[in-house]
Amino acid sequence: MTNLTDRKCKACEGGVEPMSDKDIDIMLDSLDSWEYKNGKLTKIWILKNHYQAISFVNAIAWISHQENHHPYITVGFKDVKVEYWTHAIDGISENDFICAAKVDQLLID
């Protein structure tokens, strides 16, 4: 299997089935600490300060723009919560995993 960070999101206008729970569980193994909760891929980061949190959000926005796949982002003082799901199919698609992997790659030391 190709590394998720090497893939590009494919346009999804609906008409395809969301991933099954079994496939989601298998794909979750390729991500770092993401959870599948309430029909969404979710992860929370605690950063050092507000400036780093906002910088991280801006980097996520750049990925979203490049992939044309946009998460819900919640920002606190130094915490950032990201939720991915594919709105057009009201479920999870490979695009969600691709973007989640690319977001994880932003904070590799």
Among candidates 73, 71, 61, 75, which has minimal Cα distance to 97?
71
pTM: 0.91
Asked if residue 105 is part of any domain, the answer here is: yes
- State yes or no: pLDDT of 89 exceeds 70: yes
Asked if residue 8 is part of any domain, the answer here is: no
Asked if residue 88 is part of any domain, the answer here is: yes
CATH number for position 48: 3.30.1360.20
Asked if residue 17 is part of any domain, the answer here is: no
Range name among 1-10, 21-30, 45-54 with the lowest pLDDT average: 1-10
Asked if residue 93 is part of any domain, the answer here is: yes
Across the range 81-103, mean pLDDT stands at 95
The upper half-sphere exposure of residue 55, i.e. CA atoms within 13 Å in the direction of its Cβ, equals 9
Q: For residue 92, what are the domain limits?
A: 40-109
- Our count of domains for the chain comes to 1
Asked if residue 89 is part of any domain, the answer here is: yes
